[in-house]
Amino acid sequence: MTITDDWLTAAPTQAVMGMLEAGGHRALAVGGCVRNALLGAPVSDIDIATDARPERVIELAKAAGLKPVPTGIDHGTVTVVAHGAPHEVTTFRRDVDTDGRHATVAFTDRVVEDAARRDFTMNALYAGRDGTLVDPLGGLPDLRARHVRFIRDPEARIREDYLRILRFFRFTAWYGDPSHGLDAEGLAACAAEAEGLSRLSAERIGHEMRKLLAAPDPAPVVAAMAQAGILARVMPGADPSALAPAVHLGLADWIARAAALGGDTGGWRLSKAEARELDALATAARDGTRPFALGDALGSRGADAVRLRAALTGVAPDPQDLALAERGATATFPLKAADLMPDLTGPALGQALAAARTAWSAGDGRPSREELVDLALSTSGSG
């Protein structure tokens, strides 16, 4: 079987793999680029495995006029830039020791040892420079079946790196066959080793959960996470019941889907902007704010809040509510500070404007400028 994708036949990849082979070494594309090529999915990063040691990779790259960058040389990785495109070139490795997150590795000349230290069988596929597939562990049948399966003993693979628990769910959401469900042995191993999640950084948890929730339909996998006791560890208080309806209603980004779950994302290390947007959307979907006011307060997220409210209640969103939220997102509040001056100044002016804005929003944007002026002045006692 061969791969003929553009990324493999392109000049940059051919240059990197060619310089390794010209130096007497093996050069095999590996991991996500091979997996995605076989699935017909987009390829973004190109990883190349080789029996050449890192110092030899640097030597060969310089001799070939390419730019080597020792990005992870202690672990065998050199980024080789060819025609402006980066390629991660990593020496075949085997694990000597693991601590649940990081591994001490030794270099090897055997591709089968390199494959054995990876996480899932579908990620242990390699391809030569001519596209010929190399499958040392028999992962191709799993890939064809879209069966996300740990290499050999699932619990052993997880104990090597507890991040693999979250990767198991993410990869299943993206690449698994929904009709087959999750791999039973893998799911059981994740449940048994769930305590190890406490050893992961908030940054890594957030990274995996963002990617998981961005999958085409993460609902079945997230439900399985909840049943296995995983979801409660990474998102305390989350309820997966509204996620499937939210996906059905077209909420496609991870923030909207996290808002549907409603749990605590304090352990995800979100940016301040992400945290504010998520909290505002989750709160708005669960309070009684009118649709127009949702649009006024949240912009385009107002319609998302209406859809989330429908997902949470199990009632289809009212088209009129969606229209009001969309109108609220684009409507312009007609009152300006100058309209109330010089009658009002200072804090009184700010309070009157806020009261008028609340009334305008509650009235679905119908109150006129003149009505709002009268309201603001009367509220302040100046009318």
Mapped to the 3 state alphabet, what secondary structure does 206-274 carry?
HHHHHHHHCCCCCHHHHHHHHHCCCHHHHCCCCCHHHHHHHHHCCCCCHHHHHHHHCCCCHHHCCCHHH
- Residue 345 structural domain: 333-383
Model confidence at 103: pLDDT above 80: no
First-to-last alpha carbon distance for the chain, in angstroms, is 83
Residue pLDDT, tens place only, 340-356 = 999 999 999 999 999 99
% the chain with pLDDT above 70? 99
Model confidence at 276: pLDDT above 90: yes
pLDDT recorded at residue 95:
86
Number of helices (H), then strands (E), in the chain: 20, 9
pLDDT recorded at residue 379:
79
pLDDT recorded at residue 257:
98
Asked, for residue 328, whether it belongs to a domain, the answer is no
Question: Per-residue pLDDT averaged across 207-235, rounded?
Answer: 98
Asked, for residue 355, whether it belongs to a domain, the answer is yes
Band (382; pLDDT cuts 50, 70, 90): low
Asked, for residue 190, whether it belongs to a domain, the answer is no
Asked, for residue 119, whether it belongs to a domain, the answer is yes
- Out of 94, 110, 144, a domain closes at 144
Asked, for residue 339, whether it belongs to a domain, the answer is yes
- Out of 144, 176, 198, a domain closes at 144
Q: Per-residue b/e over 136-151, b at no fewer than 16 CB within 10 Å? A: ebebbebbeebbbbbb
Query: pTM score, two decimals?
Result: 0.91
CA distance 62 to 175: 38
CA distance 81 to 64: 11
pLDDT recorded at residue 101:
77
What CATH number is given to the structural domain containing 109? 3.30.460.10
Residue pLDDT, tens place only, 160-181 = 999 999 999 999 999 999 999 9
Question: Per-residue pLDDT averaged across 81-107, rounded?
Answer: 90
Model confidence at 39: pLDDT above 60: yes
Residue pLDDT, tens place only, 40-58 = 999 999 999 999 999 999 9
Query: What is the sign, positive or negative, of the torsion defined by CA atoms of 169, 172, 178, 184?
Result: negative
Asked, for residue 164, whether it belongs to a domain, the answer is no
- CA 351 to centroid of chain Cα atoms: 41
Q: Which residues lie across from 90 on neighbouring strands?
A: 49, 77
Cα angle, residue 183 at apex, residues 182 and 187 outer, rounded to 5°: 80
Asked, for residue 55, whether it belongs to a domain, the answer is yes
Residue pLDDT, tens place only, 307-334 = 999 999 999 999 999 999 999 999 999 9
SS3 139: coil
Residue among 293, 295, 291 nearest 309 (CA): 291
Band (339; pLDDT cuts 50, 70, 90): very high
Round the average pLDDT of the chain to a whole number and report it. Answer: 95
Asked, for residue 312, whether it belongs to a domain, the answer is no
In the chain, the number of structural domains is 2
